[in-house]
Structure 1
Amino acid sequence: MSSQPDLFDRSLLRSRRQRALKAAKPGADFLLKAVSADLEERLLLVNRSFGTAVDLGGHTGLVFKAIEKSGKAGQILRADLHIADPNQSPPDLVCDDALLPFGDQSVDLIVSALALQFVNDLPGTLIQIRRALAPDGLLMATLPGAGTLTELRDSLTRAELEIKGGAAARVLPFADTRDLGSLLQRAGFALPVTDLDTITVRYDNMFALLADLRAMGATSILHDRSRTPLSRQVLYRAAELYAENHADPDGRIRATFALVTLSGWAPHESQQKPLRPGSAKASLAEALGVRERKIRE
């Protein structure tokens, strides 16, 4: 029985991440900054502390600082994805988040920002994370969800269809919020929660957006991507379509980032559990002040 083919080219991810880190374009980490600040606020709302925390794949050190500022962890390990950030002090380890190096029940908190969307086997990675967490340990992760970069996807597809008569996938597929919640449950997390926060960024034109995506190391790494670069004709037409269909009255274009935050706990006997069906002490009819009727009636 053949295994499912990889969706993403992880070696290409490594090289593009390395190029982006070396270039270190000022301001290109704006999205990671926003996500890290949000994760810090969420950690502050958690009414407990953790022994060992892991910043999983959070290059630039922003997630590490967010955990540190929250004051929720006694020890923080920085686990850079694939390569060490040359602009930071050496990380505690460099690892692939698709193959975690942690033992079972060895850490108490794992935080990931804008990294898990590149994993080929996300269900498997979530299972690994749950196993690495000690009982009552917490996963908190943010990744782009369905709706991210829809304007770019639409413009590139329409331009390529118009000029070449066919279109290749140019923007990564992103998972739906509900599907991500289901993956948490399948991985065995208790009290799973997913929520969506949409950020709209405005640019002068499509090329400014593409430059930011390159600087983030977030351009397409689809395994079955077209190896033929888009022609100038297609790119210029895509930019025209983008401006025609996804611009504000002042002429600036919009780029949508739909950010899904996942949280789930490693099971523990102290956690709240749902009541057994039929164990309620009051009926819905009593609460509504109406007469309860049998199905036959």
Structure 2
Amino acid sequence: MPEPILAARGLVVELGGRRGLFRRAPAVRAVDGVDLAVASGETFGIVGESGCGKTTLARALLGLQREAAGEIVLEGRTVSGHHPLAARRMRAAVQYVHQDPGAALDPWWRVGRTLAEGLAIHGVTDRAEQEARIAETLAAVGLDAAMAQRYPHELSGGQQRRIGLARILLLRPKVVILDEPTAGLDLSVQAAVLRLLRELRARFGLTYVFISHDLSVVRRVCDRVAVMYLGRIVEEGSAATLFREPRHPYTRALLAAAPHLDGRDTGPSLPGDPPSLRAVPHGCRFHPRCSMAIPLCAAQDPAPEPAAPGHTVACHRWRDAPTEHRDAA
């Protein structure tokens, strides 16, 4: 793999933890020792159940959440270890598209004013230049320049997604973090948004970090995928390999429980809910919910190891998992 444009090494992010009058509330590790490397121009997917740490990881990569340990490297330069305000300045090449772009728009401002504000914050204050860049970027996301005169409530869900993308593209990023970019959209609008993302990646040379719970979407758009559980990456590999030969029992369970577009019945749901981050199980974090667990799983935390070239898995029993998997997405 070439030098990654964005990488994390041993990344730890702690949430909470405050000192009260008589005692100190301990922090919880929402991200615990994550290693990842995102290559320039690829779409890197992050999947997992709600609360697994996907969004916290994204916020740390972006610079909005300070890391407690580990390092983040952007374009070969270490950018970790700074206060969030300084971290965001150092990571201006990384931008974030909100899960709900409508909520990120001021309801009292026209779209054009919101877009111009972002440019002004980043030093583009000439009105004519702002208007020209806004019109150009709106066209790039498939919207007419007149859309700048509308208010957020006048936009459809798909148009709001496009405005969210335009808002980020104006800042000329290199890495874009997409948090559930198709959530809440019907299938036809989803297809249009995904097609637009592919076009923008090719046109502007973008790299995507794609966070989603929709495995069918992840399979279609991602080059590589990391599966997270309780703050850790338990399996990582190419999308083709991960969907064809998942090795971790958690990955297999996620794929089995995913809805099928052809009407086939889904597999059994994962038993129970993920444990609290304040009571992380000893050993393998997944073992209380795993049908393949043995005493070793409760006693020893498995380290990631290669299952194939470019494919790693953190599981004591991954060799015992079936080597073929029926498509779930």
TM value normalised by structure 2: 0.27
Rg larger in 1 or in 2?
1
TM value normalised by structure 1: 0.30
Which protein, 1 or 2, shows the higher relative CO under an 8 Å CA cutoff with sep ≥ 6? 1
